[in-house]
Homo-oligomer: A and B are copies of this chain.
């Protein structure tokens, strides 16, 4: 059983901001090079999924981890609440067009997991229909993995206290105000409910394509963690320029 309350949201003891930021700069350089080979080789599609509570730092992670890559080889799709047209289709219909091609990195800022989360919290689908989605998501991810896609799923894990602090910052800081949304505070009230659904998602979706739980209270550690994991993964692929 995964219990989010028992998983650390903070950087591990001994991790220092300055050193981690230095590491991040080095990781940026490696990522910049690795991505060039990835693109040149054109063999592996890379799908990076970012999920987390409101204010967990999905946008910030994208900005600070990926602002070193060639935008020609990297796309970001932010999934919002489904439009009316999207709702008239199977829930994976709007996901498909954004799956990465070989050699491309695709970042999902939120994803098909919203289609479990939101109906679970707001009761807009029956339990049976939600259960089905767990099953279909597992099939879907295994299918795209089978056709060669490398999938990395990051859950940005912050504490309830940190969320409250960040919502406050959005209300005060003139550089962050544009991100403030009244619904943040409404949704924050469902913190416990969201936590239970996330626990179920982390547990059930799935051992073969596991979630990485990122301690995300400190932005510098979150950035380092994600960049490091992606660089590791790309290095494991033994990428080569085609001859």
Chain B residues closer than 8 Å to A75, beta-carbon distance: 71, 75
Q: Given A174-B241, A178-B242, A242-B177, does the pair A67, B109 have CB atoms closer than 8 Å?
A: no
Contact between B70 and A62 (Cβ–Cβ < 8 Å)?
A: yes
Q: B62, B66, B71, B178: which contacts A76 (Cβ < 8 A)?
A: B71
Q: Given A70-B63, A72-B59, does the pair A177, B243 have CB atoms closer than 8 Å?
A: yes
Chain B residues closer than 8 Å to A76, beta-carbon distance: 71-72
Query: A176's closest neighbor in chain B, by CB?
Result: B241
CA distance A107 to B72 in the complex (A): 9
Contact between B241 and A175 (Cβ–Cβ < 8 Å)?
A: yes
Chain B residues closer than 8 Å to A177, beta-carbon distance: 241-243
CA distance A107 to B76 in the complex (A): 14
Chain B residues closer than 8 Å to A159, beta-carbon distance: none
Chain B nearest Cβ from A93, distance in angstroms: 18
Contact between B63 and A72 (Cβ–Cβ < 8 Å)?
A: yes
Q: Which of A167-202 contact B (CB under 8 A)?
A: 174-175, 177-179
CA distance A32 to B64 in the complex (A): 10
Q: Given A177-B241, A178-B40, A243-B177, does the pair A69, B67 have CB atoms closer than 8 Å?
A: yes
Q: Which of A103-159 contact B (CB under 8 A)?
A: 107, 109
Q: Mark A199-217, 1 if CB is under 8 A from B, else 0.
A: 0000000000000000000
CA distance A68 to B241 in the complex (A): 23
Q: Is A55 an interface residue when CB atoms closer than 8 A count as contact?
A: no
Q: B32, B174, B175: which contacts A67 (Cβ < 8 A)?
A: B32
Q: Given A32-B67, A63-B36, A67-B32, does the pair A241, B72 have CB atoms closer than 8 Å?
A: no
Contacts A67-B71, A177-B243 given; 17 further ones with Cβ under 8 A? Answer: A32-B67, A36-B63, A40-B179, A41-B178, A59-B72, A62-B71, A62-B72, A66-B71, A67-B68, A67-B70, A71-B76, A71-B107, A72-B109, A174-B241, A177-B241, A177-B242, A178-B242
Which A-B residue pairs are the 4 nearest by beta carbons? Answer: A63-B70, A72-B76, A40-B178, A178-B242
> Can you give 9 contacting A-B residue pairs, CB < 8 Å?
A32-B67, A59-B72, A62-B70, A62-B72, A71-B74, A72-B76, A72-B78, A174-B241, A175-B241
